Amino acid sequence: MGKTRNKPNYISYISKIAKKNTGAGISLPAAQQMNLIVEHLLERMVTTSSSIAKAAGKNTLHHKHMIAAAKMELPVEMIEDAITYANAAADRSVEHLNLVEKDDEITEKTEV
């Protein structure tokens, strides 16, 4: 029988965010409830973004699909922040990939 995969658990992140933003901790039952909310929201976002990607004829999810899903699934008050964070994460990812490519080019030149 195959190894079962554990579901992601966001409780530690929720606790850190609660402490950072409010200066107070969060009880374990409250963190568990927030964890369920986060899991549900992520599942809805991925399902919606997957449908958007398939409708566009794509097999891979891109950040633009997630942004479109956020506009459909999130309350209006959260959309702007979600898009800002998504764009920042995408920019960091591109910067990281560019740094890795430059390091590879430098390594190739020094080996020759």
* pLDDT 10s digits, 17-69: 888 888 888 899 999 999 999 999 889 989 999 999 999 999 988 878 888 88
pLDDT at 103 over 60: no
CA atoms of 111 and 103, how far apart (whole Å)? 12
Q: Is residue 22 part of a domain?
A: yes
Q: Is residue 4 part of a domain?
A: no
- What single-letter amino acid sits at 14? I
Q: State percent of the chain over pLDDT 90.
A: 24
- According to the model, what pLDDT value does residue 57 have? 93
Q: Is residue 18 part of a domain?
A: yes
Q: Is residue 73 part of a domain?
A: yes
User: Which of 92, 89, 101 is CA-nearest to residue 63?
Assistant: 89
Question: 19 by DSSP, 3-state: which?
Answer: helix
Q: Is residue 24 part of a domain?
A: yes
Write the secondary structure of 68-107 as one string of H (helix), E (strand) and C (coil). HHHHHHCCHHHHHHHHHHHHHHHHHHHHHHHHHHHHHHHH
Which CATH number goes with the domain that contains 38? 1.10.20.10
- According to the model, what pLDDT value does residue 47 have? 93
- Structure tokens belonging to residue 16: 């850190």
Which residue range forms the structural domain that includes residue 55?
A: 11-111
C-alpha atoms less than 13 angstroms from C-alpha of 79 in its C-beta half-sphere: 10
Q: Is residue 17 part of a domain?
A: yes
Total-model pTM = 0.64
Mean pLDDT over each residue of the chain, to the nearest integer: 82
Helix runs in 25-75, H state only: 28-55, 63-73
Q: Is residue 3 part of a domain?
A: no
Burial class of residue 84, CB neighbours in 10 A (0-12, 13-18, 19+): exposed
Q: Is residue 2 part of a domain?
A: no
What total number of domains does the chain contain? Answer: 1
